[in-house]
Amino acid sequence: MSLGRITTADYDAPKELVESACEVLKLASESGKVKRGTNEATKAIERGMAKLVFIAEDTDPVEIVLHLPLLCKDRDIPYVVVPEKKLLGSYVNLLVPTSAACIVDPGRADKELESVVQKIKALRKP
């Protein structure tokens, strides 16, 4: 999947996998702990707390989130690209759009998160 003109993923996530990941994010937002926004997601990745990172494809300017896939890849943290920041904001109970979010504690979504993470890792190109 790409953000703007630059390819940022080392795999293409099927739509069904992105939807499953978003359902996990919604559940984790209700019962666990999520970080909202690019700065908070960046901190969670750097501290090794992020379990799964979400990046909005329609972020403008795209440079705001271009570092996230590189950080994730460097720290072996899975990430998915979602189509719209408005949707991403709604998944984490924000009334405003957000360019990035991540799951820190999945809460009741623990098993579902593990399943999504395994599917993402299986799609990664060597």
Q: Which domain holds residue 78?
A: 34-107
More confident residue, 10 or 17: 17
| Rounded distance between C-alpha atoms, residue 124 and residue 23, angstroms | 21
| Rounded distance between C-alpha atoms, residue 117 and residue 123, angstroms | 10
pLDDT digits (tens, 9 = 90+) for 38-48: 999 999 999 99
Asked, for residue 44, whether it belongs to a domain, the answer is yes
79: β partners: 53
Residue-averaged pLDDT of the chain? 90
Asked, for residue 68, whether it belongs to a domain, the answer is yes
**What CATH number should be reported for the domain holding residue 68?**
3.30.1330.30
**Whole-Å CA distances, 42 to 53, 76, 81, 104:** 9, 14, 15, 12
pLDDT attached to residue 5 = 39
pTM listed for this prediction: 0.91
Asked, for residue 11, whether it belongs to a domain, the answer is no
Task: Looking at 1-126, list the stretches that DSSP marks H as alpha helix, in order from N- to C-terminal side.
Answer: 15-31, 38-46, 67-75, 85-91, 110-123
**Whole-Å CA distances, 54 to 7, 70, 104:** 15, 13, 12
pLDDT attached to residue 126 = 60
Asked, for residue 114, whether it belongs to a domain, the answer is no
Residue 11's pLDDT band (cuts 50, 70, 90): low
Indicate whether 8 pLDDT > 50. no
pLDDT attached to residue 13 = 80
